[in-house]
Structure formats: C-alpha cells, structure tokens
C-alpha cells in the first residue's frame, strides 16, 4: 500500500484545517500578567478566578513567626474544613506537609520567608525555603515579606528579588507582602511606595493593607494585582466592608486570616467574604448572609 492510498480525500482534509478561521490570540485576565510564560499564568489562573479576576486566599501562615496563634492552635480541626470555601490557601510548607490533605485540589501558596520570632526584630528575615521544594510541593506560588522602611529593608528586598529570580526559572509566581513596622505610618503614600517597589522589582502580585483614604491610588499605581491583607480581627461588618471597599477600589481579592479564622463562625465568614469578593455583594447583605449561615450550624 502506498502512502497516497491512506490519505483522506482532499476536500475533507481541507475542511479540517478551517483555514478561514484565524486562531484566536487571547490576552490574559490579570493586570500586568499578559506577558508571563504559560506555567506562571497557569499557576496564577488557579489562584485567581478567571471569571471574576479575583481571589479569596485564606492566610494561615502566622505560626512561622508567632507560633500557635489564636484560631490556629489546631489547623487540622479549624482550617481544613474551610479549605473548600477558599480559592487558595496561604500556609507554610511545614503545615502543608503535616496537616493539609494532599488530596486537596486547591492551589497552595507557600510562605517562603522567615527567621525572627515575635520576640525579635521582624525585618531580620531570610529566604526560608528553596524554590525546588515549592515545585516539589506543587505550589501555586510563594509569598515573602518586604520591609520597606524597616531596619533590614535592603536585605528583605534582596530576599524577594532572589526568590523572584528562582521563581522565574520554574514558572512560580511570587507574592510580595508589604510588612509594616509597628511605629510606621500606614497611609496611602507609604503603601504606594512599598507596592510599587515590590512590583517594579518583579513580584507577580502584591499583598498589602487597606487604607480608608486613597487606596485606589495604591492599586492604580501598582502594575500587578494587589490582594488585600486582613490585619487584626475586626467586627464582621467592618471586615466585610473593608474587603468590599478594597475590591471596589481595584484590589484583585483578599488574603485574609484572622478576620476569618478568629470569627466565631469562620465557615460563615469565609462564605460571606467570598460573596463580597466574587459577587460584589454589599457589606450589609454579606453580614446577613454571615448571620444566616452562622445560625445554620
Ligand atoms: C503578615 C502576613 C501574615 O502572616 C498573615 O498572612 C496575615 O494575615 P491576617 O493579617 O489577615 O491575619 O502575611 O504580613
């Protein structure tokens, strides 16, 4: 039999090429991410919901410097049941390996810096995990603190840029976290500076705090997505209002910890935050949702 005899008829073969339909050249849904490589984009598209362009990350990494934080004493009992309601979990590799079920389909973003405890100068951090281990753990990203204005500012910036270089080699997004010293002013001017530095130095997204005045200038002057950090525990309505204002003013979601796991109904709270972030639910409606879910327990 000749090769020619096995070929399909010419007119049918031509139809299969659909030559009159140009291949689409889609962009990418996340700000500043359209020129990244496929693996990096794929990890970002697992962390951020491509439909809403936003994420609800659940931050439970606090133990890396403050031990068994209130609400995180038993991550197996308190946090594992919340995993279905988050878009991504932000945790340490120690907790991932020891407690988080490997069957989980959720993306895991790993805390990659550490060193000092709450008893010492917090900006004195180092990179605390190899990028090779993040790949081994199938992480969707890594997170690192940057202490702009802090005592070890330059070192923390170098930690981040080294991590970014390692991340670029394997397609791993780096989340730069603006860490603010206790005696520093938390205003839009400071966060514009810190977020922009983190983005300019190459982080694929930034975690920062909400400020009442001018948060939209923090997001608009940052060329990559910003996720809002939660901060200390607030009454539920205040936390939901803060999350609502952040996403309405340009945040691509939240990475919240204490305002979820220190709530007296963490499962109800994370579902209410999810509605605010992905469905633009108004804070009062989200509080109603929280109360309803809380009483269904
Ligand atoms: C500090 C961090 C934390 O370790 C944590 O993720 C903070 O979460 P929250 O303030 O919402 O409890 O990133 O900057």
Instruction: For residue range 24-42, list pLDDT tens digits in order.
Output: 988 999 999 999 999 999 9
Give pLDDT, residue 223. Answer: 98
pLDDT classification of 14: cutoffs 50, 70, 90: confident
Residues written for the chain = 297
Q: In CATH, what class is 28-295? A: alpha beta
Predicted TM-score (pTM) of the model is 0.94
- Please spell the DSSP secondary structure of 51-110, one letter per residue: TTTBEEEEE--THHHHSS-TT-TTHHHHTGGGGGG-SEEEE-HHHHHHTS-TT--S-EEE
Domain boundaries of the chain, sorted by first residue: 28-295
- CA dihedral over 209, 29, 53, 114, signed as positive or negative: negative
Q: For 142, what's the count of Cα atoms within 13 Å in the CB-facing half-sphere? A: 30
**Of 106, 105, 101, which Cα lies nearest the Cα of 90?**
106
pLDDT classification of 257: cutoffs 50, 70, 90: very high
Query: Which of 61, 75, 92, 160 to mutate to test ligand 1, by most ligand atoms within 8 A of the CB atom?
Result: 61
Give pLDDT, residue 183. Answer: 80
Separation of 61 CA from ligand 1 center, angstroms?
Answer: 7
Catalytic residue among 31, 106, 162, 207: 207
Share of the chain above pLDDT 70, in %: 96
> Average pLDDT in the 183-208 region?
96
pLDDT digits (tens, 9 = 90+) for 93-133: 999 999 999 999 999 999 999 999 999 999 999 999 999 99
Question: In terms of pLDDT, which residue wins out, 266 or 115?
Answer: 266
pLDDT classification of 2: cutoffs 50, 70, 90: very low
CA distance 143 to 138: 14
Active site residue 162: no
Nearest atom within ligand 1 for CA of residue 229: 11
Where b means 16+ CB within 10 Å and e means fewer, 10-40 reads: eeeeeeeeeeeeeeeeeeebbbebeebeeeb
Nearest atom within ligand 1 for CA of residue 258: 12
Query: Which of 180, 229, 232, 236 to mutate to test ligand 1, by most ligand atoms within 8 A of the CB atom?
Result: 229
pLDDT classification of 184: cutoffs 50, 70, 90: confident
């Amino acid at each position: 039999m000749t090769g020619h005899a096995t070929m399909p008829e010419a007119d049918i073969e031509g139809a299969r090429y659909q030559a009159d339909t140009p291949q689409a050249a889609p962009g990418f849904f996340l700000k500043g991410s359209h020129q990244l490589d496929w693996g990096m984009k794929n990890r970002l598209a697992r962390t951020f919901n491509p439909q809403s362009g936003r994420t609800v990350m659940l931050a439970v990494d606090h133990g890396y410097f403050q031990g068994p934080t209130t609400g995180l004493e038993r991550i197996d009992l308190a946090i594992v049941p919340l995993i279905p309601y988050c878009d991504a979990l932000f945790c340490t590799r120690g907790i991932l390996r020891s407690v988080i079920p490997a069957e989980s389909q959720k993306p895991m973003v790993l805390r990659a810096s550490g060193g000092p405890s709450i008893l010492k100068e917090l900006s004195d951090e180092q990179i605390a995990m190899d990028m090779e281990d993040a790949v081994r753990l199938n992480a969707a990203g890594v997170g690192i603190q940057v202490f702009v204005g802090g005592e070890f500012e330059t070192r923390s910036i170098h930690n981040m840029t080294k991590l970014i270089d390692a991340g670029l080699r394997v397609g791993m997004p780096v989340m730069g976290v603006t860490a603010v010293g206790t005696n520093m002013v938390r205003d839009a001017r400071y966060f514009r500076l810190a977020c922009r530095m983190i983005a300019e130095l190459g982080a694929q997204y930034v975690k920062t705090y909400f400020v009442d005045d001018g948060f939209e200038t923090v997001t608009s002057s940052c060329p990559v997505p910003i996720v809002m950090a939660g901060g200390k525990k607030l009454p539920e309505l205040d936390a939901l209002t803060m999350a609502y204002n952040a996403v309405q003013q340009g945040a691509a979601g939240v990475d919240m910890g204490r305002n979820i796991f220190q709530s007296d109904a963490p499962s109800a709270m994370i579902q209410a935050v999810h509605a605010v972030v992905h469905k633009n639910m108004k804070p009062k409606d989200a509080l109603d949702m929280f109360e309803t879910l809380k009483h269904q327990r």
